[in-house]
Protein backbone atom coordinates (compact mmCIF):
# COMPACT_ATOMS: atom_id res chain seq x y z
CA UNK A 1 0.00 0.00 0.00
CA UNK A 2 2.78 2.43 0.96
CA UNK A 3 4.70 1.66 -2.24
CA UNK A 4 1.60 2.32 -4.34
CA UNK A 5 1.02 5.60 -2.51
CA UNK A 6 4.64 6.70 -3.00
CA UNK A 7 4.47 5.93 -6.72
CA UNK A 8 1.23 7.87 -7.03
CA UNK A 9 2.62 10.87 -5.19
CA UNK A 10 5.70 10.84 -7.43
CA UNK A 11 3.48 10.88 -10.52
CA UNK A 12 1.38 13.65 -9.08
CA UNK A 13 4.40 15.77 -8.27
CA UNK A 14 5.66 15.39 -11.84
CA UNK A 15 2.35 16.29 -13.46
CA UNK A 16 1.60 19.13 -11.06
CA UNK A 17 5.11 20.48 -11.47
CA UNK A 18 4.64 20.62 -15.23
CA UNK A 19 1.28 22.35 -14.85
CA UNK A 20 2.20 24.72 -12.01
CA UNK A 21 2.82 27.69 -14.33
CA UNK A 22 -0.80 27.43 -15.49
CA UNK A 23 -2.32 27.99 -12.05
CA UNK A 24 -4.37 29.72 -10.90
CA UNK A 25 -6.65 29.30 -13.89
CA UNK A 26 -9.48 31.48 -15.11
CA UNK A 27 -11.98 30.24 -17.67
CA UNK A 28 -12.17 31.68 -21.16
CA UNK A 29 -15.15 33.74 -20.05
CA UNK A 30 -13.07 35.31 -17.27
CA UNK A 31 -14.88 33.38 -14.54
CA UNK A 32 -13.23 31.73 -11.57
CA UNK A 33 -12.84 27.97 -11.90
CA UNK A 34 -14.28 25.85 -9.08
CA UNK A 35 -13.60 22.12 -8.84
CA UNK A 36 -15.83 19.97 -6.62
CA UNK A 37 -15.54 16.30 -5.76
CA UNK A 38 -18.92 14.56 -6.14
CA UNK A 39 -22.59 15.41 -6.62
CA UNK A 40 -23.74 16.78 -3.22
CA UNK A 41 -20.76 19.15 -3.19
CA UNK A 42 -21.16 20.01 -6.86
CA UNK A 43 -24.83 20.91 -6.40
CA UNK A 44 -24.06 23.33 -3.58
CA UNK A 45 -21.33 25.11 -5.54
CA UNK A 46 -23.30 25.20 -8.78
CA UNK A 47 -26.45 26.50 -7.12
CA UNK A 48 -24.65 29.23 -5.16
CA UNK A 49 -22.22 30.24 -7.91
CA UNK A 50 -24.91 30.50 -10.57
CA UNK A 51 -23.41 31.93 -13.73
CA UNK A 52 -20.63 33.81 -11.94
CA UNK A 53 -18.18 30.89 -11.75
CA UNK A 54 -17.35 27.79 -13.76
CA UNK A 55 -18.15 24.78 -11.57
CA UNK A 56 -16.94 21.25 -12.40
CA UNK A 57 -17.21 17.83 -10.76
CA UNK A 58 -14.15 15.59 -10.36
CA UNK A 59 -15.95 12.27 -9.89
CA UNK A 60 -18.38 11.47 -12.67
CA UNK A 61 -20.63 8.59 -13.66
CA UNK A 62 -20.65 5.81 -11.09
CA UNK A 63 -17.35 6.65 -9.39
CA UNK A 64 -17.65 6.10 -5.65
CA UNK A 65 -16.24 8.84 -3.42
CA UNK A 66 -15.70 6.35 -0.58
CA UNK A 67 -13.12 4.32 -2.50
CA UNK A 68 -12.03 6.69 -5.25
CA UNK A 69 -8.33 6.42 -6.13
CA UNK A 70 -6.86 9.72 -7.22
CA UNK A 71 -5.12 9.86 -10.58
CA UNK A 72 -2.42 12.30 -11.65
CA UNK A 73 -4.75 13.63 -14.33
CA UNK A 74 -7.50 14.39 -11.81
CA UNK A 75 -5.02 16.02 -9.46
CA UNK A 76 -3.93 18.26 -12.32
CA UNK A 77 -7.55 19.33 -12.84
CA UNK A 78 -7.68 20.45 -9.22
CA UNK A 79 -4.33 22.23 -9.48
CA UNK A 80 -5.58 24.34 -12.39
CA UNK A 81 -8.68 25.49 -10.47
CA UNK A 82 -9.04 28.60 -8.33
CA UNK A 83 -11.06 26.83 -5.64
CA UNK A 84 -11.34 23.16 -4.67
CA UNK A 85 -14.39 22.18 -2.61
CA UNK A 86 -14.83 18.77 -1.02
CA UNK A 87 -17.21 17.14 1.42
CA UNK A 88 -15.12 15.82 4.27
CA UNK A 89 -11.97 13.85 5.07
CA UNK A 90 -14.23 10.98 6.15
CA UNK A 91 -15.76 10.77 2.67
CA UNK A 92 -12.94 11.63 0.29
CA UNK A 93 -9.89 9.93 1.79
CA UNK A 94 -7.76 10.98 -1.19
CA UNK A 95 -8.02 14.67 -0.33
CA UNK A 96 -5.46 14.46 2.48
CA UNK A 97 -2.72 13.48 0.04
CA UNK A 98 -3.96 15.81 -2.67
CA UNK A 99 -3.94 18.93 -0.52
CA UNK A 100 -0.33 18.28 0.48
CA UNK A 101 0.61 18.81 -3.15
CA UNK A 102 -1.48 21.89 -3.87
CA UNK A 103 -0.20 25.43 -3.76
CA UNK A 104 -3.01 26.80 -1.60
CA UNK A 105 -2.02 30.36 -2.49
CA UNK A 106 -3.15 29.56 -6.02
CA UNK A 107 -5.83 26.94 -5.38
CA UNK A 108 -7.95 27.62 -2.31
CA UNK A 109 -9.43 24.61 -0.49
CA UNK A 110 -12.78 24.43 1.29
CA UNK A 111 -14.22 21.55 3.32
CA UNK A 112 -18.01 21.86 3.31
CA UNK A 113 -18.46 20.30 6.76
CA UNK A 114 -16.11 22.72 8.47
CA UNK A 115 -17.47 23.60 11.93
CA UNK A 116 -20.30 21.05 11.69
CA UNK A 117 -20.70 18.40 14.39
CA UNK A 118 -20.75 14.99 12.73
CA UNK A 119 -22.53 11.82 13.80
CA UNK A 120 -20.48 8.84 14.91
CA UNK A 121 -19.32 6.48 12.19
CA UNK A 122 -19.56 2.77 11.51
CA UNK A 123 -18.38 1.25 14.78
CA UNK A 124 -21.52 -0.89 14.71
CA UNK A 125 -20.66 -2.27 11.29
CA UNK A 126 -17.04 -3.32 11.72
CA UNK A 127 -17.89 -7.01 11.39
CA UNK A 128 -18.26 -6.79 7.62
CA UNK A 129 -16.30 -9.22 5.47
CA UNK A 130 -12.99 -7.48 4.69
CA UNK A 131 -11.61 -10.32 2.60
CA UNK A 132 -14.68 -10.35 0.35
CA UNK A 133 -14.40 -6.60 0.10
CA UNK A 134 -10.87 -6.44 -1.27
CA UNK A 135 -9.66 -9.94 -2.00
CA UNK A 136 -6.81 -9.39 0.45
CA UNK A 137 -6.03 -11.05 3.73
CA UNK A 138 -3.68 -10.75 6.67
CA UNK A 139 -1.53 -7.75 7.52
CA UNK A 140 -1.61 -6.26 4.01
CA UNK A 141 -5.39 -6.20 3.97
CA UNK A 142 -5.65 -4.87 7.52
CA UNK A 143 -3.68 -1.81 6.50
CA UNK A 144 -5.88 -1.25 3.45
CA UNK A 145 -9.06 -1.64 5.48
CA UNK A 146 -7.96 0.89 8.07
CA UNK A 147 -6.95 3.45 5.47
CA UNK A 148 -9.74 3.01 2.97
CA UNK A 149 -12.90 1.80 4.68
CA UNK A 150 -13.18 2.74 8.34
CA UNK A 151 -15.27 5.82 9.10
CA UNK A 152 -14.88 7.36 12.53
CA UNK A 153 -17.67 9.78 11.63
CA UNK A 154 -20.61 9.54 9.25
CA UNK A 155 -19.95 11.83 6.25
CA UNK A 156 -23.45 11.72 4.67
CA UNK A 157 -24.51 15.10 6.08
CA UNK A 158 -26.44 16.19 2.98
CA UNK A 159 -29.21 13.68 3.76
CA UNK A 160 -30.44 16.18 6.39
CA UNK A 161 -31.53 19.36 4.55
CA UNK A 162 -30.73 21.66 7.48
CA UNK A 163 -27.23 20.27 7.91
CA UNK A 164 -26.84 20.67 4.17
CA UNK A 165 -27.82 24.33 4.64
CA UNK A 166 -24.87 24.75 7.01
CA UNK A 167 -22.62 23.33 4.31
CA UNK A 168 -24.10 25.84 1.87
CA UNK A 169 -23.01 28.62 4.19
CA UNK A 170 -19.42 27.35 4.09
CA UNK A 171 -19.49 27.18 0.30
CA UNK A 172 -20.92 30.69 0.07
CA UNK A 173 -18.18 32.09 2.30
CA UNK A 174 -15.50 30.40 0.19
CA UNK A 175 -16.93 31.84 -3.03
CA UNK A 176 -17.24 35.33 -1.54
CA UNK A 177 -13.61 35.20 -0.34
CA UNK A 178 -12.47 34.00 -3.77
CA UNK A 179 -14.54 36.43 -5.82
CA UNK A 180 -15.72 39.40 -3.72
CA UNK A 181 -16.87 41.31 -6.81
CA UNK A 182 -19.79 38.86 -7.12
CA UNK A 183 -20.46 38.58 -3.38
CA UNK A 184 -24.01 39.91 -3.68
CA UNK A 185 -24.92 37.17 -6.14
CA UNK A 186 -23.45 34.44 -3.96
CA UNK A 187 -25.24 35.83 -0.90
CA UNK A 188 -28.59 35.95 -2.70
CA UNK A 189 -28.22 32.48 -4.23
CA UNK A 190 -27.25 30.97 -0.88
CA UNK A 191 -30.22 32.62 0.84
CA UNK A 192 -32.57 31.25 -1.84
CA UNK A 193 -31.09 27.76 -1.46
CA UNK A 194 -31.48 27.88 2.31
CA UNK A 195 -35.16 28.81 1.97
CA UNK A 196 -35.69 25.88 -0.37
CA UNK A 197 -33.95 23.57 2.10
CA UNK A 198 -36.20 24.81 4.92
CA UNK A 199 -39.25 23.95 2.84
CA UNK A 200 -37.89 20.50 2.07
CA UNK A 201 -37.13 19.97 5.75
CA UNK A 202 -40.74 20.80 6.62
CA UNK A 203 -42.00 18.36 3.99
CA UNK A 204 -39.91 15.61 5.58
CA UNK A 205 -41.12 16.52 9.07
CA UNK A 206 -44.78 16.48 8.02
CA UNK A 207 -44.59 13.19 6.13
CA UNK A 208 -42.33 11.19 8.47
CA UNK A 209 -44.31 12.24 11.55
CA UNK A 210 -47.20 10.19 10.20
CA UNK A 211 -45.21 6.96 10.00
CA UNK A 212 -46.40 4.39 12.52
CA UNK A 213 -43.13 2.44 12.26
CA UNK A 214 -40.05 4.60 12.67
CA UNK A 215 -37.66 1.78 11.69
CA UNK A 216 -36.34 1.34 8.16
CA UNK A 217 -33.85 -1.12 6.71
CA UNK A 218 -31.22 -0.09 4.16
CA UNK A 219 -28.37 -1.85 2.43
CA UNK A 220 -25.86 1.00 2.85
CA UNK A 221 -25.73 3.04 6.08
CA UNK A 222 -25.98 6.43 4.36
CA UNK A 223 -29.15 7.70 6.04
CA UNK A 224 -28.04 8.37 9.59
CA UNK A 225 -28.53 12.15 9.33
CA UNK A 226 -31.95 11.72 7.78
CA UNK A 227 -32.95 9.34 10.58
CA UNK A 228 -31.52 11.63 13.25
CA UNK A 229 -33.33 14.68 11.87
CA UNK A 230 -36.77 13.07 11.72
CA UNK A 231 -36.87 10.67 14.65
CA UNK A 232 -36.36 7.54 12.57
CA UNK A 233 -34.17 4.50 13.16
CA UNK A 234 -31.88 3.28 10.39
CA UNK A 235 -30.96 -0.42 10.33
CA UNK A 236 -28.19 -1.11 7.81
CA UNK A 237 -27.06 -4.41 6.33
CA UNK A 238 -23.60 -2.96 5.63
CA UNK A 239 -21.66 -0.05 7.05
CA UNK A 240 -20.97 3.47 5.88
CA UNK A 241 -18.68 2.40 3.03
CA UNK A 242 -20.87 1.55 0.06
CA UNK A 243 -18.55 -1.25 -1.06
CA UNK A 244 -18.30 -3.09 2.27
CA UNK A 245 -19.75 -6.57 2.58
CA UNK A 246 -21.22 -7.96 5.81
CA UNK A 247 -19.96 -11.10 7.50
CA UNK A 248 -22.15 -14.20 7.44
CA UNK A 249 -23.04 -13.56 11.09
CA UNK A 250 -24.07 -9.95 10.38
CA UNK A 251 -26.17 -11.07 7.42
CA UNK A 252 -27.93 -13.71 9.52
CA UNK A 253 -28.55 -11.14 12.26
CA UNK A 254 -30.18 -8.75 9.79
CA UNK A 255 -32.37 -11.51 8.37
CA UNK A 256 -33.50 -12.28 11.90
CA UNK A 257 -34.27 -8.59 12.51
CA UNK A 258 -36.33 -8.30 9.32
CA UNK A 259 -38.36 -11.39 10.17
CA UNK A 260 -38.87 -10.42 13.81
CA UNK A 261 -40.07 -6.91 12.93
CA UNK A 262 -42.04 -8.12 9.91
CA UNK A 263 -40.20 -5.60 7.77
CA UNK A 264 -41.74 -5.42 4.32
CA UNK A 265 -39.19 -3.20 2.55
CA UNK A 266 -35.41 -3.04 2.21
CA UNK A 267 -34.14 0.19 0.67
CA UNK A 268 -31.31 0.12 -1.87
CA UNK A 269 -29.64 2.84 -3.91
CA UNK A 270 -30.14 1.88 -7.60
CA UNK A 271 -26.54 2.86 -8.34
CA UNK A 272 -25.23 0.13 -6.01
CA UNK A 273 -24.94 -3.61 -6.46
CA UNK A 274 -28.03 -4.91 -4.66
CA UNK A 275 -26.90 -8.54 -4.33
CA UNK A 276 -26.57 -8.32 -0.55
CA UNK A 277 -30.01 -6.78 -0.12
CA UNK A 278 -31.47 -9.41 -2.46
CA UNK A 279 -30.03 -12.12 -0.24
CA UNK A 280 -31.85 -10.72 2.79
CA UNK A 281 -35.02 -10.06 0.80
CA UNK A 282 -35.20 -13.58 -0.62
CA UNK A 283 -34.75 -15.06 2.86
CA UNK A 284 -37.40 -12.87 4.46
CA UNK A 285 -39.96 -12.06 1.77
CA UNK A 286 -39.22 -8.33 1.90
CA UNK A 287 -39.35 -6.25 -1.27
CA UNK A 288 -36.60 -3.94 -2.54
CA UNK A 289 -37.38 -0.26 -2.96
CA UNK A 290 -35.08 2.57 -4.13
CA UNK A 291 -33.68 5.14 -1.72
CA UNK A 292 -31.02 7.35 -3.25
CA UNK A 293 -27.88 8.30 -1.35
CA UNK A 294 -27.20 11.00 -3.99
CA UNK A 295 -23.54 10.01 -3.93
CA UNK A 296 -23.75 9.44 -7.67
CA UNK A 297 -26.06 11.27 -10.06
CA UNK A 298 -25.41 10.67 -13.75
CA UNK A 299 -24.87 13.36 -16.35
CA UNK A 300 -27.96 12.05 -18.13
CA UNK A 301 -30.09 12.53 -15.01
CA UNK A 302 -28.77 16.05 -14.51
CA UNK A 303 -29.44 16.88 -18.16
CA UNK A 304 -32.99 15.56 -17.73
CA UNK A 305 -33.56 17.98 -14.84
CA UNK A 306 -32.90 15.78 -11.81
CA UNK A 307 -31.32 17.57 -8.87
CA UNK A 308 -30.88 17.36 -5.11
CA UNK A 309 -34.46 18.43 -4.43
CA UNK A 310 -36.20 16.17 -6.94
CA UNK A 311 -34.20 13.16 -5.77
CA UNK A 312 -34.79 13.90 -2.09
CA UNK A 313 -38.53 14.20 -2.75
CA UNK A 314 -38.42 10.85 -4.52
CA UNK A 315 -36.73 9.48 -1.41
CA UNK A 316 -39.46 10.90 0.80
CA UNK A 317 -42.18 9.38 -1.39
CA UNK A 318 -40.53 5.94 -1.28
CA UNK A 319 -39.81 6.15 2.43
CA UNK A 320 -43.41 6.99 3.32
CA UNK A 321 -45.20 4.89 0.68
* 156 three-state secondary structure: coil
Q: Please state the rounded mean pLDDT for residues 227-246.
A: 90
pLDDT-derived band at 12, boundaries 50, 70, 90:
low
Return d(Cα 276, Cα 38) in angstroms, integer: 25
Which residues are within 8 A (CB) of 315 and not within 5 positions of it... i.e. 6 or more apart? 226, 291, 292
Q: What does the mean pLDDT of the chain come to?
A: 85
**Angle formed by the axes of helices 248-260 and 275-284, to 10°?**
50
Task: Write down the pLDDT at residue 30.
Answer: 86
Which residues are within 8 A (CB) of 93 and not within 5 positions of it... i.e. 6 or more apart? 66, 147, 148
Q: Please state the rounded mean pLDDT for residues 160-182.
A: 98
Return d(Cα 259, Cα 251) in angstroms, integer: 13
pTM for the full predicted model? 0.85
Return d(Cα 65, Cα 87) in angstroms, integer: 10
Lowest mean pLDDT among 64-68, 232-236, 253-257, 262-266: 64-68
Q: What is the pLDDT of residues 111-141, one digit of tens each?
A: 999 999 999 986 544 444 433 333 333 333 3
The answer to whether 242 and 256 have CB atoms below 8 angstroms apart is no
Q: Is residue 168 pLDDT above 80, yes or no? A: yes
Return d(Cα 176, Cα 185) in angstroms, integer: 9
Q: Is residue 250 pLDDT above 70, yes or no? A: yes
Lowest mean pLDDT among 70-79, 216-225, 231-240: 70-79
Lowest mean pLDDT among 89-93, 280-284, 314-318: 89-93
Q: Please state the rounded mean pLDDT for residues 40-57.
A: 98
Q: Please state the rounded mean pLDDT for residues 58-64.
A: 80
Q: Is residue 27 pLDDT above 90, yes or no? A: no
Task: Write down the pLDDT at residue 69.
Answer: 83
Amino acid sequence: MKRKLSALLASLLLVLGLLAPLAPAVSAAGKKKVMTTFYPVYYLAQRIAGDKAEVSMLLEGNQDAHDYEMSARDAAKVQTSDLFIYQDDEMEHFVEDLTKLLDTDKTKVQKTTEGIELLKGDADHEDHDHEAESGQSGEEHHEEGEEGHHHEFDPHTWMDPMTYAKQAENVKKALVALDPENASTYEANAASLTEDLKKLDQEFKDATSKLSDKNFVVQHAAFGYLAHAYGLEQHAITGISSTAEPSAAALAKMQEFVKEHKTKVIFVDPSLDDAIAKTVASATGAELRPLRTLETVSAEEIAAGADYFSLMRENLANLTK
